[in-house]
Chain A
Amino acid sequence: MKKMKKLPEPYELVRTYPGKVIYTESLKRCNEMIKRVKNLDLIKKPT
């Protein structure tokens, strides 16, 4: 991805593996979306 407009250079990232899943509000909403949305196939179709 080229540099995004209006965004500066990023910070240095370090990758980690927390291991344990923490059920956040965001994850709950994501799972709700999977259950309820009508056209999940649109985003899952092969590119």
Chain B
Amino acid sequence: MKNEVYGDLKKSPAVIEYTFRSIGTNGFIPIGVRFTESDDPGIFDLVFGLILDNGILNDVIRLNNGDSDKILATVVEAIERFTSEYPEKIIWFSGSTPARTRLYRMIISLNLDELRKDFEIFGKIDHSETCWENFEKDRPYVDFTIKRKIKN
């Protein structure tokens, strides 16, 4: 049986990227913040890094452009835009290096009260078969998810 369906469903593309130019001590560096649909269409993987000529993002390179905080602020802005457009999607991310993971944990912890007004945030304490839990300060999370709260 073939049912009629509404035609206004909004399908997200499999990949959405926001780009910007880091401006610092080494000049202009092209950076990409990429959201890629995972095997579960409700969950998007987030990576950011240097845009290479073949379109791949190098997410482990240390840019040393003297503007790491501004880059991080821009990644946060990209999350804000993505989740505004696709509020039902969950963003998964994990530091590509231990230093990045610690940085993400610190930024979330510092802003947890503010973030919780608009987002649900979860953490997982290792990469293997453990469980997600509500993000709490001072827990050694290595994986993170963030999802916008739907407000009626």
Interfacial residues, chain A to chain B (CB-CB below 8 A): 1-2, 4-22, 24-27, 29-40, 42-44, 46-47
CB distance from A28 to the nearest CB of B (A): 9
9 pairs of A and B residues whose beta carbons are closest in the complex: A10-B74, A7-B73, A10-B77, A11-B20, A30-B45, A13-B18, A10-B73, A39-B131, A47-B149
- Say if the beta carbon of B98 comes within 8 Å of chain A: no
Closest partner residue, chain A, to B74 (CB atom): A10
Interfacial residues, chain B to chain A (CB-CB below 8 A): 13-23, 33-34, 36-40, 42-43, 45-47, 55-57, 59, 69-74, 76-78, 80-81, 90, 92-94, 96, 107, 110-111, 114-115, 118-120, 122, 124, 127-133, 143, 145, 147-150
CB distance from A7 to the nearest CB of B (A): 4
Contact B69 A6 (CB under 8 A): yes
Contact B17 A29 (CB under 8 A): no
Contact B16 A17 (CB under 8 A): yes
- A to B CB contacts below 8 Å, 22 in the list: A1-B115, A1-B118, A4-B110, A7-B69, A7-B70, A7-B72, A10-B70, A10-B76, A10-B77, A11-B20, A11-B71, A13-B81, A16-B19, A20-B55, A24-B57, A24-B59, A30-B45, A31-B39, A33-B124, A34-B39, A34-B43, A38-B130
Contact B114 A4 (CB under 8 A): yes
Closest partner residue, chain B, to A9 (CB atom): B73
Q: Which of B47, B107, B130, B147 contacts A7 (CB 8 A)?
A: B107
Knowing A1-B118, A22-B55, A26-B96, say if A43 contacts B20 (CB, 8 Å). no
